[in-house]
Amino acid sequence: MSQPDPDAWRRQVRQWLATVLEPAPAPESTAQAADLAVFHNLPEDEERLLLDRCRAYQRARFDAGYQALTLPEDKGGAGLSAAHVAVFAQEESAFEVPPSTELISVTVRLVAMAVSLFGTDEQRHGHARAFLRTDLLACQLFSEPGAGSDLAALRTRARQDGDEWVIDGQKVWTSGAQFADYGLLLARTDPDVVKQAGITAFLVPMDAPGVEVRPIRQMSGGASFNEVFLNGVRVPDRLRIGRPGQGWEVANATLAFERTASGSGNRRKGGTFPDVLALARSLGRTGDPLVRQRLADLYVRAALRAATVDRVARTSAAGGRPGPEASLTKLMASELLTRTGQVAAELMGARISADTGEPGTFAWTQHLLGAPGYRLAGGTDQIQRNLIGERVLKLPPEPRVDRAPFSQLPGD
């Protein structure tokens, strides 16, 4: 089936967006009022209201056929190219889109895609479609206290009992778990093979007996992350995603989608170059040659990141799984966030340590406290560099000492 011409399709997208959204305000009118937080820091009732706004837009987008644009039609998507994704993002940026949340992004761009690619026809119809439309929300139950960067070392266990699996373990740093209907969980089902081969993926109902969610209070004051404890949780085999032992493949595809989402810039995270420039102007610092040099450097890095995101999007195969190039955009995104906060802090000096009432100053603390966490989400910067080195630059891999069956590794 031939794909629509991107230019003609652009006009169609613009007309539809105008029916559901208001035009975006001028950049200069939002510079001082911008939300500079990297991660949301809202009370529970406000977070629920934000989720409702996000879900209303996602449902309208799904119903109009603009959700999961590159996912093949037989898997519930639109079957379009990465160029169409870029066109949609460009047109969407001209409108006031409800600010998204980590949970919405995880549901639509990670879990829904994983279930669409690896799930059965029944799972695609009953769950993936509901995730894409946000009728159901899903969190990601991957990281554990002892298995973050080395995710394959996870120790949450699942043993089969008839037509059910019994799961015991602990997950951590789970965004939005307190609001999610399901969690995409990785568990060890075979300890007698190498660690990557003995993992299976499941959809776990978050209201199942034995699931306990405990919010983690962050240094910024919010609690958008959670610990999740699983004690004898029974999950029917029909909620297993992929074959037993295929969990590592599911995880790699999901993490690639996460890195693409993290690095794409489709959702504002923290302060941006225009925010820093507005700050420098408000403080009367733009005449300082050193400040101008730092601003120019920040601008160039932001432009390079945008160009790289566009290049990766345009060269991605339509409907294919993101490759290791996603690590590059993720790494650039986290480094840009860090540098943006550093330049803002240098401009303000002591102003950033206390709220003096000056607009757009103390608010930068939300950016500074959140940016380090973004260097961990979706895989640490060090992991991204390893992936780029080994899979993009084809450098020799690092020495490995964990090739034995998982049950024979130290600490098991």
Q: SS in 3 state form for 356-396?
A: CCCCCCCCHHHHHHHHHHHCCCCCCHHHHHHHHHHHHCCCC
Q: What is the pLDDT of residue 42?
A: 79
What pLDDT band is residue 317 in, cutting at 50, 70 and 90? Answer: very low
DSSP three-state, residue 272: coil
Residue 34 has pLDDT above 70, yes or no: no
CA-angle at 192, arms to 190 and 195, nearest 5° = 75
Residue 199 has pLDDT above 90, yes or no: yes
Q: What is the pLDDT of residues 268-297, one digit of tens each?
A: 678 999 999 999 999 999 999 999 999 999
Q: What is the pLDDT of residue 179?
A: 96
Q: Catalytic site residue 258?
A: yes
pTM of the model: 0.85
Residue 320 has pLDDT above 60, yes or no: no
Residue 315 has pLDDT above 60, yes or no: no
Q: What is the pLDDT of residues 109-149, one digit of tens each?
A: 899 999 999 999 999 999 999 999 999 999 999 999 988 87
CA dihedral (53, 56, 58, 60) positive or negative = negative
Q: Please state, rounded to an integer, the average pLDDT across all residues of the chain.
A: 87
Task: Show Cβ contacts of residue 7 under 8 Å, excluding neighbours closer than 6 positions.
Answer: none
Q: Are 319 and 77 in contact (CB under 8 A)?
A: yes
Q: What is the pLDDT of residue 379?
A: 74
* 23 burial type by CB count under 10 A (0-12 exposed, 13-18 middle, 19+ buried): exposed
Out of 164, 258, 358, 390, which one is annotated catalytic? 258
Residue 406 has pLDDT above 90, yes or no: no
Polymer length of the chain = 412
Q: What is the pLDDT of residue 319?
A: 44
Residue 76: name the closest of 118, 17, 19 by CA.
118
Q: Are 325 and 393 in contact (CB under 8 A)?
A: no
- The percent of residues in the chain predicted with pLDDT above 90, rounded, is 53
